[in-house]
Amino acid sequence: MTLTAIQQRKVEENMGLVHQVIKDKVHGYNQWGFYTYDDLFQIGCVGLCKAAATDKGGTFSTYAYRLIWHEICDALIQSTKRYSDEITADVTPYKKVETENGEFLSGLRIDLFQTLSSARREAPPSTAKGIDAMVMMSQGYTSSEIGERMGASAKLVCAWVSKARKFLKERPETEAIAVYRS
């Protein structure tokens, strides 16, 4: 978008309006999704530029305030949808592995059980639910079935599992179990 000199001056004079919109409308760090304050400021500046480019007269700050907020809202909504899609795509089905080497498999099961039990005791409640859901998935249950048993939606189960995976990846004892996979 190319702005004229007058439009550019209008944008420069109203940069504080972007800060004001973020201060007034975006509350709490948890609502921002993937965005930092600087990201939201840049997104708001795009809205301010659009306002300057399409201004037809009248009270500019009122018009620009709405366009800035709409631009930020659109970005937050899109990031929420993207995050939701990533959570549902993150859950892969777990299947039982059949092998001729029964000892190896039972040793692996013992290690997994001990590791998961230890991790579950130290995990926050939602992460512990995710570990329980992972165990149920390994037994062949779907997210919907697990959700019915745990009194939650399938998407919430997927979110728990995603959180549990991240929690387990950070634990040193899971590295030892990863050796069994290769």
Mean pLDDT value of segment 160-170: 84
pLDDT at 32: 55
Given a cut of 80, whether residue 165 has pLDDT beyond it is: yes
Q: Shortest CA distance to 179 belongs to which of 123, 85, 94, 112?
A: 112
Q: State the span(s) of the chain assigned CATH 1.10.1740.
A: 5-89
Task: Give the percent of the chain with pLDDT over 90.
Answer: 26
Angle at 137 between CA 91 and CA 162, to 5 degrees: 30
Question: In this predicted model, what pLDDT tens digit does every residue of 66-116 receive, in sequence order?
Answer: 999 999 888 888 877 776 665 555 444 444 444 444 544 444 455 566 677
Question: In this predicted model, what pLDDT tens digit does every residue of 19-40 receive, in sequence order?
Answer: 999 988 887 655 555 678 888 8
Report whether 164 contacts 123 (CB < 8 A): yes
Which CATH number does 5-89 carry?
1.10.1740
One-letter amino acid for residue 176 of the chain: A
CA torsion 161-162-163-168 (nearest 10°) is 80
Residue 125 burial (10 A CB sphere; 0-12, 13-18, 19+): exposed
Matching residue, tokens 């800035």: 68
Neighbours of 4 (CB within 10 A): 10
* pTM attached to this predicted model: 0.48
